[in-house]
Structure 1
Amino acid sequence: MKNPLLILAGALGLSSAVQAEPLKVGDDAPVMVVVNQDGEEVDLGNVYAEGTTLVYFYPKADTPGCTAQACSLRDAYTELTDAGVTVIGVSGDSVKSQKAFAEKYKLPFTLVSDPDSKLMEAFGVPHRLSFASRQAYLIRDGKIVWLDYKASTKQQAADALAALKDVSDGS
């Protein structure tokens, strides 16, 4: 007889990560309206139109790896913004958790609450429940120009800046 808990876990999708087709360089970046750490709506299409955007996904606010990743971007924020980059972090955390995370670590960029995983799915980011895989995307003119399916924690800013230089040199 099969274990009813295993059957239930499989039916609920708990036995493996959910994954849509991953986006690739050259693909259109998903456009949707999301909610930031202040409970305000952010239209990603408008953000993309303002210049280069770094959208990075992380599993859970205020955990060691996610904090290192966010602080890497915080510490290089001036360099990123001087290069015309808007930074947006995304996780399945609540608006309240995102706000607390941003305040605790003085994060100067937008954090998006994606508890229903719609943005994760639009980008093709694997996730288990609402815990995203760590990934990063540079978007220019609404198109993905660089991506990292295994984004670094401590090197996130350096990796994004190096990629930005590469895509700028190749333009």
Structure 2
Amino acid sequence: MNQTTLPLEIGADVPDVIAVDQDGNSIPLQSIAKKGTFLFYFYPKADTPGCIKEACNLRDNYKMLIDHGIKIFGISMDTKEAQKNFKEKYHLPFPLLADPEGKLVEKFGVTKKNGHASRQSFLARNGKIVWRNLKVKPETHAQEILEEVKKLNESKE
């Protein structure tokens, strides 16, 4: 299946979609995204080497990220059970959203490879996309997000 949607552009609204987290809770992305700064990061598959590296990089820098007001949602096309196992196994302090039908992948315009989401990130502030990275490096993802948020905060002052 070829994908014709393009990744959300800077300035686009966070999609009006209901996501499901690892515990089965419904998360209305657009309405929560209006309340601060959010990182929506897409990754191919829970508990695979690159995804472990990325999730642990965000986990290990979590305090710094939340100190800068960033709330994190990890998203993959895994089931909520796979997301729950991944979250628990690596003690991830942020919710993981299950997107087995690819609804979120489609709404954000994330490309798919071999039935999995590509590693892409979107930073939203007050409901709008303010930054995106379509080629995330798992090892330095948190540092890159912190740099972007610092720039955003400077430009706001």
> 2:135 aligns to what?
150
Q: Secondary structure at the match of 2:13?
A: coil
Which structure 1 residue ranges, 5 or more long, are not aligned? 1-12
> 1:5 aligns to what?
none
> 2:146 aligns to what?
161
* Superposed CA RMSD: 1.2
Q: Could you tell me which of 11, 15, 18 is aligned with 1:30?
A: 15
Give distance in 2, aligned partners of 1:93 and 1:137: 19
Q: In the TM superposition, what is the alpha-carbon distance from 1:19 to its structure 2 partner? A: 4.4
Q: In the TM superposition, what is the alpha-carbon distance from 1:76 to its structure 2 partner? A: 0.8
Give distance in 2, aligned partners of 1:90 and 1:119: 8
Q: In the TM superposition, what is the alpha-carbon distance from 1:141 to its structure 2 partner? A: 1.1
Q: Once superposed, which parts of structure 1, at least 4 consecutive aligned residues long, lie more than 3 Å away?
A: none
Q: Deviations over 1:114-134 (max 9, x none)?
A: 011110110110013640010
Q: In the TM superposition, what is the alpha-carbon distance from 1:43 to its structure 2 partner? A: 1.1
Q: In the TM superposition, what is the alpha-carbon distance from 1:26 to its structure 2 partner? A: 1.1
Q: Could you tell me which of 81, 85, 88 is aligned with 2:73?
A: 88
Give distance in 1, aligned partners of 2:115 and 2:87: 19
Is the Cα–Cα contact under 8 Å of residues 115 and 130 in structure 1 kept in the other structure?
A: no
> 2:29 aligns to what?
44
Q: Could you tell me which of 44, 59, 70 is aligned with 1:74?
A: 59
Q: In the TM superposition, what is the alpha-carbon distance from 1:55 to its structure 2 partner? A: 0.3
TM-score, with length taken from structure 1:
0.87
Instruction: Please tell me whether Structure 1 or Structure 2 has the larger radius of gyration of its CA atoms.
Output: 1
Q: Secondary structure at the match of 1:169?
A: helix
- Percentage of matched positions with identical amino acids: 44
The size of the alignment, in residue pairs, is 156
Q: Deviations over 1:58-111 (max 9, x none)?
A: 000000000111011101111111111110000000000000000000001010
TM-score, with length taken from structure 2:
0.95
Q: In the TM superposition, what is the alpha-carbon distance from 1:167 to its structure 2 partner? A: 1.3
Residue type of the alignment partner of 2:117: A
Q: Secondary structure at the match of 1:150?
A: coil
Is the Cα–Cα contact under 8 Å of residues 35 and 127 in structure 2 kept in the other structure?
A: no
Residue type of the alignment partner of 1:106: H
Which structure 2 residue ranges, 5 or more long, are not aligned? none
